[in-house]
Structure formats: C-alpha cells, structure tokens
Structure 1
Amino acid sequence: MADDQSLITILEDSREIRDLLTETLQHEGFDTLSFARATEFERNMRGLKPDVCIIDLGLPDRDGLSVVNTVASNSGAAVLIISGRSNTQDKIVGLELGADDYITKPFEIAEVVARVKALLRRKAPKAEATLSKIVRFNGWTADLEQHLLTSDDGKVERLSFAEGQVLRVFLSKPNRLITRDQILDDLSNGESDNFDRTIDVRISRLRAKLHDDPNNPKVIKTIYGAGYIFIAQVG
C-alpha cells in the first residue's frame, strides 16, 4: 500500500479514464483529486501540494503542454503525462517543459501505478543521504523540500521537481566529476530512460536560475566527454 500522505491529482477530460485512474490509485492507498478541465485544475492547485500530477495533453479548454509547464515551474510535484500523442517529438517537448515521465494511450493501468510509485520513490530522500533539506552554497540557500532557491539579497527562484533533483545530486557531490551515467542512475533508478533525453535541458535551466553564464559557467562546469563538476562551497 502507498503512503496515505501521498496526493495524486488527475487532469483528464475522459470520464471513463479519469474514473479508472481515480479508483485504481485509491485502491492502492493514494489520496486523489480529479479534474476534467485545466481551468478547474489550476484554480484548485493554488491550495494543494500534490506529490504527483497526472496530466492529459488533449484537454477541451487548453493545451495540456502549457499546464505541464505551469505545474513544473510553480510546484514541487512530479508530472506524469498520459496522452494519445505518441510521436517522439511530443514526448520530448513534454519532457523539456518539465514532465518527469510520459505514457501513451492506450495504457495498462498497472503500468500507470508502477510509474506513479517510481516517481514517489524518486521524490523520497535516499536512506543513505545526509544532505540537509536546507543547504547553503555560493551565496544561495536551497530549500530542497520546497524546491526554492534564495539568493543572499533575497531574490527567490522556484525550481521544478526535475531541476530540484539535479541540484540535489550536484550538492551531494560538490567539486568532483559526476558522469552522465551517475546522474541518470541517481535520478531514474533505472526505471525510465525519459530523463536521458532532456538532461542537458534541465541542467541548462538550472544554470540559468543560478545565474551561471552558459558561455563561461563558474558553477556547473561541463567536462566534455566525461560529465559535470559542481563548483561550490557547500555548508
């Protein structure tokens, strides 16, 4: 059974699919809230802190990709896209906009449950991790639970769930080479290859939020053919 504190929100205009997802996830022990329209979903999201948001792209009142981007930019929730759009380009765009996984319709409900549980495992701190929820480095304070970056002069940057995951990996291994495979292993646990397609985009976005010049980065250095080094005094 899942942790009863885990909240899964579902944005799906098909009542049949929405009910199937709701009933199955509730049977697995999750709390769920479901919505048929983007406007209703976004209105309610202001007062919610879901752990995972399941989002369909083919919505009647808005393109689901814009909703994905909003959730990824303004919430610490993981995003799972479920869509009838099966071409590779739509998958890549969805992942680049901040989604963490992508399932195409028709789907096996057991696979959806497995992907949700995998995302929750990725959100949970690893047992051996010693990294604090609040970490200071290079004039920044990172709240890894709320996915916030605050500079010493008070400016706040909100991280997407995926960007927060990348930062956590870097903060746990500062000032040493981290290979691409090591990053992928830390982030995916081998459960999905979707992150591999957008790792560079997410690191680029993290650089931007750290105000790290992409042409001459001082914090996240790319070692071509090897990986990355996160240059920071972490305390």
Structure 2
Amino acid sequence: MSAPLVTILDDEPAIRSMLSEALTEAGFRTLAFSRATEFEAALKRSPPDVCLVDLGLPDRDGLSLVHRLALEQGAAVIIISGRAQVQDRVTGLELGADDYIIKPFDQAEVVARIRARLRGPRRGAAQGTTARFNGWTAHFDRYALEDSEGVEIPFSQAEGEVLRLFLESPKRLISRAQMQESLGGAAGESFDRAMDVRISRLRTKLREDPKNPRLIKTIYGAGYIFLGEVDWS
C-alpha cells in the first residue's frame, strides 16, 4: 500500500518547502502548489488523502475552494491560515473543513493533525456505505442525504464523519471525549466548536427543529444521543 498523499496549496514558497520536507520525513507523499488552478487540475490526476489549504490565495477565494473540496473530494480538508480570528475559524469549519491550523505553526503539530484525520472513520467503514433511518438514506459513497421523496442534500466529509459516528452507535450516549477519540483532532475549544458547527449543520439538513430535535439529542454536560432506528447496507 502506498503512503498517503497530502496536497499543499500555499502561495508562500517557504511554507510549501517546510511542509513538504516535514511530511516526506514523516512518511507521506506530497504535492505542493502555489495557485488554486494548478491545485485543482492535479486533484483530478492524483486524488489526495488530505488537502492542506491556505486561505490567502492569489487566484481564488480560499474559503469557497474549501467548501467545494469538502463537498466534492474524498479527502480531509485542513485549513492552514494566518487568519486567527475566531470568526474565520468558525466560517472555515462551517464550510466543511475538517480542521483549522493557525500560522505560525509547529511542523510536528501539522503532522499529528494529519495522522489524526487519517485515523478517522471516513476510511475503512465497518458497516457499509448506505444507512437508512427515519425516512432518510445516507449515501456515504457519494456524501449525500436522500429524503423519502428522493431529494438529495449533499453533506461534507467532516459532517459525514459525525453522521456515521451517530449512525454506528444509535441510542447510545456519545460523549465529547469519545467523539474526539473517534474523529481525531486536537481536543479543546476548537474541537468543541467544530463539533457544534457540524451537528448544527446536520440537524438543518435533516430538517430538525433546532429547539426540539427528534434525532440528534443534546444531553447537556454529557454529550449526544442519536434516537433513530438505523438499517445499514
């Protein structure tokens, strides 16, 4: 089995070089790009396992690119940016990024975050690619929710990780600590905020009443419970 491929999109040559060297030394394959157009063309030739994306790009809005990658690519998307404001991080996560790393960063942290994403449940799904529950069908092979009338709603890779975790453990309390262990990523406020964003977006796509959701219940101070009946195939 070949080493995981990490693509790097950053317009700073020093950053690209530093990341490429650190990741190669850690056992990853890398491809590095300075412009979004070259990056997107390469994705079609060599689908990556992880995409590292800077938001300050010369030829494309980084956030819109992250959103498209999250919906269309089978890769984890990690933002690496000098934008340290909380709202920038929240926006990136809302648009589907799996993680957000602020510049300047430690190379070892980037390597650890990537390894955590690759340990996540998006690969090697134990129970199959399709799950049916409460009038919905989740298609994990094409990242879409289908309602009872056949209307499909896409979900991001990051949202899919959380949804799969719920569907694989219905009617069982899932604590924040269990989510962090299963999904990877650095524990703390950033991870908690990421989970809040993804669960909120899943509830919206499942047409849940935000004040009284039927499927994904918050148990305050403890975690979450998914209350649906799930059939995998």
Q: What is the TM-score when the length of structure 2 is the normalising length?
A: 0.83
Q: 2:94 aligns with which of 93, 96, 107?
A: 96
2:167 aligned partner = 171
The 8 Å contact of residues 217 and 224 in structure 2, kept in 1 or not, is answered as: yes
What is the alpha-carbon distance in structure 2 between the residues aligned to residue 108 and residue 222 of structure 1?
A: 35
What displacement does 1:161 show?
1.7
Match status 1:16 vs 2:14 = yes
What is the alpha-carbon distance in structure 1 between the residues aligned to residue 106 and residue 218 of structure 2?
A: 39
| Unaligned 5+ runs, structure 1 | none
Instruction: Give the number of aligned pairs.
Output: 230
What displacement does 1:135 show?
2.1
Q: 1:157 aligns with which of 149, 153, 156?
A: 153
What is the alpha-carbon distance in structure 2 between the residues aligned to residue 132 and residue 117 of structure 1?
A: 23
What is the alpha-carbon distance in structure 1 between the residues aligned to residue 181 and residue 107 of structure 2?
A: 26
What is the alpha-carbon distance in structure 2 between the residues aligned to residue 18 and residue 58 of structure 1?
A: 14
1:205 aligned partner = 201
**1:12-51, aligned counterparts within 5 Å?**
12-45=10-43, 49-51=47-49
What displacement does 1:56 show?
0.8
**1:128-167, aligned counterparts within 5 Å?**
130-167=126-163
What is the alpha-carbon distance in structure 2 between the residues aligned to residue 184 and residue 26 of structure 1?
A: 26
- The one-letter code matched in structure 2 to 1:154 is G
> What CA deviation, in whole Å up to 9, does each residue of 1:69-111 have, x standing for no partner?
2222333321212122233333333233322222222333232
Match status 1:214 vs 2:210 = yes
The 8 Å contact of residues 70 and 95 in structure 2, kept in 1 or not, is answered as: yes
2:107 aligned partner = 109
Name the stretch that deviates more: 205-214 or 88-97. 88-97
What displacement does 1:123 show?
4.3
2:71 aligned partner = 73
1:58 aligned partner = 56
- Over 3 Å counting, the alpha-carbon distance change for 1:93 and 1:28 in structure 2 is same
What displacement does 1:26 show?
3.3
Q: Secondary structure at the match of 1:167?
A: helix
- The one-letter code matched in structure 1 to 2:10 is E
Q: Secondary structure at the match of 2:52?
A: strand
> What CA deviation, in whole Å up to 9, does each residue of 1:44-71 have, x standing for no partner?
4456532211011111123322222222
What displacement does 1:145 show?
4.8
The 8 Å contact of residues 76 and 160 in structure 1, kept in 2 or not, is answered as: no
Q: Secondary structure at the match of 1:57?
A: coil
Q: CA RMSD in A?
A: 2.7
The 8 Å contact of residues 220 and 231 in structure 1, kept in 2 or not, is answered as: yes
- Over 3 Å counting, the alpha-carbon distance change for 1:183 and 1:11 in structure 2 is same
What is the alpha-carbon distance in structure 2 between the residues aligned to residue 163 and residue 209 of structure 1?
A: 10
Match status 1:184 vs 2:180 = yes
- The one-letter code matched in structure 2 to 1:119 is R
The 8 Å contact of residues 4 and 30 in structure 1, kept in 2 or not, is answered as: no
| Unaligned 5+ runs, structure 2 | none
